[in-house]
Structure formats: C-alpha cells, structure tokens
C-alpha cells in the first residue's frame, strides 16, 4: 500500500499570549479531510503545546510531508513556541530556515497559519517546494476557515496552488475579511501541475 501523506500539526499557545482556538482548527482540518475523495491518502499527526526543543524531534520522528504550524507569530519575524514553563519562546526565521534546510527529507509543504509569518515562509522557499505564510495579523475564524478549505481541496486531489486559491475564495464566500493575507511561495523548478497526492 502506498505510504500516507503525513501532516504534522504543530500547535503552540503560550500562557502569556492571547488564547487561540487551536483545537477547533485541527478539528476542522481533520473533518474536512474526511470529506475528500482521496482522504485515505492522509495521516494527521497532532502535537500540542509545542516547545522549541520539540521541533527537531518531531521532524526526525514524523518525517512529515506537510508541516502545519498553528499559533502566534511576531511582527519581528519570529514564530512563538513555548518554553518548559509554558511561556513564550521565540524562534527566528533564520533558525527555522536552517532547521528545515536540513530536515526536509519528505517535506513538500509548510503552512504557517500564524500572524506575520510571511517572512518565515519566504525564508523556507529554497528548501521546501511550497510554503504559505500570512502577511499580517490573522483572526481565529479566518485561520480556521482557511486551513479547513485548504486541506479539503488537497483531499479532493487538487494541486497545492488550487487548494491555496480555493481556501482564499472560501474566505470571500463566507464573508470573512483577509483573503489577501495568505501568500504562497513556490520553489523554483517545482512541478505545480500535479495534484498533491499524485506528486508524491
């Protein structure tokens, strides 16, 4: 049997940051994948309260095809994870780029569903075929809706570009502001014509 496409869902909501509905986001992703015609091609692996020190282990152990980060980003171009006390611990885009530059054996896409994550997504473009980041602040409803629609499209055998555009259209359909906030970066030489499932 063909190996499943592993999605590593990384959630982090430190106690000293505003509360996010990360559980609702992963529930929406899981539910929408289950609607898909190729739903059995996907495996969703969840990691909650992710610490900075967890990152390498998760990538080494899961060997994901997609990494989805849900949480906070900062205007200073950092992703916000947790320390051992559950407080904020920021990671620079340079450190993230270095990590994914090494541990990208199976990696095909990184979705950074967090505020101000565009610079991190852009920094990963050389190492990962597809990266998605957000150009400014992102609300809970928008993050949940975008993520659900994106993975639903992948689970219906669409390309990453189609899934990205359908997720943006979904925001407009349900009258949520911000369809101009998500941005997709594609590594030079990537074949964008195949569905995500059949490009493996």
Residue 168 lies in a domain: yes
The CATH number assigned to the domain holding 37 equals 3.40.50.1460
pLDDT classification of 1: cutoffs 50, 70, 90: very low
58-80 pLDDT per residue, tens: 999 999 999 999 999 999 999 99
Strands (E), 66-107: 66-74, 78-82, 88-92
Give the pLDDT score at 113. 97
Q: What is the DSSP letter of 51?
A: B
Residue 200 lies in a domain: no
C-alpha torsion sign, points 88, 100, 131, 126: positive
Give the pLDDT score at 197. 84
Residue 198 lies in a domain: no
11-49 pLDDT per residue, tens: 999 999 999 999 999 999 999 999 999 999 999 999 999
Residue 196 lies in a domain: no
What distance in Å separates the CA atoms of residue 151 and residue 138, rounded to the nearest whole number?
18
Residue 115 lies in a domain: yes
Identify the domain containing residue 101 by its residue range.
5-190
Q: Give how many domains the chain has, as a whole number.
A: 1
How much is the pTM?
0.95
Mean pLDDT of the region 183-190: 96
3 state SS of 130: strand
Residue 94 lies in a domain: yes
């Amino acid at each position: 049997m063909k190996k499943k496409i592993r999605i590593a869902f990384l959630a982090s909501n430190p106690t000293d940051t505003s509360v996010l509905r990360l559980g609702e986001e992963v529930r929406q992703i899981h539910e929408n994948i289950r609607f898909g015609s190729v739903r059995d091609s996907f495996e969703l692996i969840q990691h909650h309260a992710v610490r900075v020190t967890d990152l390498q282990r998760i990538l080494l152990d899961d060997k994901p095809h997609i990494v989805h980060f849900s949480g906070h980003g900062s205007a200073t171009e950092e992703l916000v994870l947790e320390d051992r006390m559950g407080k904020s611990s920021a990671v620079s885009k340079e450190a993230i780029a270095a990590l994914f530059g090494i541990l990208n054996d199976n990696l095909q896409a990184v979705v950074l569903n967090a505020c101000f994550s565009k610079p991190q997504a852009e920094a990963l473009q050389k190492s990962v075929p597809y990266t998605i980041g957000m150009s400014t602040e992102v609300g809970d409803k928008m993050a949940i809706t975008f993520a659900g629609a994106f993975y639903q499209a992948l689970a219906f055998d669409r390309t990453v570009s189609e899934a990205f555009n359908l997720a943006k259209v979904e925001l407009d359909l349900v009258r949520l502001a911000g369809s101009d906030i998500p941005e997709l970066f594609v590594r030079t030489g990537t074949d964008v014509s195949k569905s995500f499932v059949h490009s493996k």
